[in-house]
Amino acid sequence: MNMPRAHLLIVVAALLAAVIGFLVFRDAPPPAHQAVTLLPEPRPLPAFALVDQHGAPIDEQALTGRWHLVFFGFTHCPDICPMTLQTLAAVRGRFDGEGSRQPGVVFVSIDPARDGPEMLGDYLAYYDPDIIGITGAEDAVAEFARAMGVAVVMGEADAQGHYNVDHTTAVFLLDPKGRLAGLFRIPHRVDAMAQDLGRLIGSRG
């Protein structure tokens, strides 16, 4: 049976659209990153000399060799810090078994008066024992935070001495050379962050 002329025109139009679509999109760039904002050029990390959650000295050279996700917060944080650490641990888990391709996660305490190494270690072990914790002298931590562009506002203590700390909620992205390459702003979503990281790790090593 001959195909009605109207149907034939529809089939030809659909085939033509498919061919045009293939020609247009075959060389199109990959989709833009979903969550990360990249710097035009990575910039060196400011120098610091602090300690990790084991009390061992740590500096910027420790954050080389792989991609790192760096978050500034404090252990008494009621909501943002726990949620972000859960997200970062889950993102890191997406790369289990991939060796140096697995990103590191770094948590820098902006409240070193309360967050000594032992406190920091116990806190981070709940999320992922491989998260790197950083603390140290208050002035040294404050200087590092300022150099990274992290805003920190210490709240007033109540009668029991409890206080809150308002701080920047962005997650900073370091490349394997230890340079600041970009940042993730809230909301932090596991799927989007992991996909962006996978794309970056695959393309830049």
Sequential pLDDT tens for the chain (205 residues): 454 554 444 444 444 444 434 443 344 445 567 899 999 999 999 999 999 999 999 999 999 999 999 999 999 999 999 999 999 999 999 999 999 899 999 999 999 999 999 999 999 999 999 999 999 999 999 999 999 999 999 999 998 889 999 999 999 999 999 999 999 999 999 999 999 999 999 865 4
pTM of the predicted protein model: 0.83
- 177 located within any domain: yes
- 30 located within any domain: no
Confidence at residue 89, expressed as pLDDT on a 0 to 100 scale: 98
Q: Which domain holds residue 114?
A: 36-204
Confidence at residue 92, expressed as pLDDT on a 0 to 100 scale: 97
| Residue 114 near residue 76, CB atoms below 8 Å | yes
Domain count across the chain: 1
Q: For residue 200, give the amino acid letter.
A: L
Among candidate residues 172, 194, 191, the one with its CA nearest the CA of residue 183:
172
Burial class (CB in 10 A: 0-12, 13-18, 19+), 21: exposed
pLDDT in tens, 40-59: 999 999 999 999 999 999 99
- 124 located within any domain: yes
pLDDT in tens, 84-108: 999 999 999 999 999 989 999 999 9
Nearest-angstrom CA–CA distance, 86 and 79: 11
Confidence at residue 18, expressed as pLDDT on a 0 to 100 scale: 43
- 104 located within any domain: yes
Confidence at residue 32, expressed as pLDDT on a 0 to 100 scale: 66
Confidence at residue 203, expressed as pLDDT on a 0 to 100 scale: 67
- 29 located within any domain: no
- 43 located within any domain: yes
- 16 located within any domain: no
Can you give the CATH number for the domain in which 96 is found? 3.40.30.10
**CA torsion through residues 8, 11, 14, 18, sign:** negative
Helices H, strands E: what count in the chain?
A: 5, 10
- 147 located within any domain: yes
| Residue 131 near residue 105, CB atoms below 8 Å | yes
Nearest-angstrom CA–CA distance, 204 and 89: 22
Nearest-angstrom CA–CA distance, 195 and 39: 18
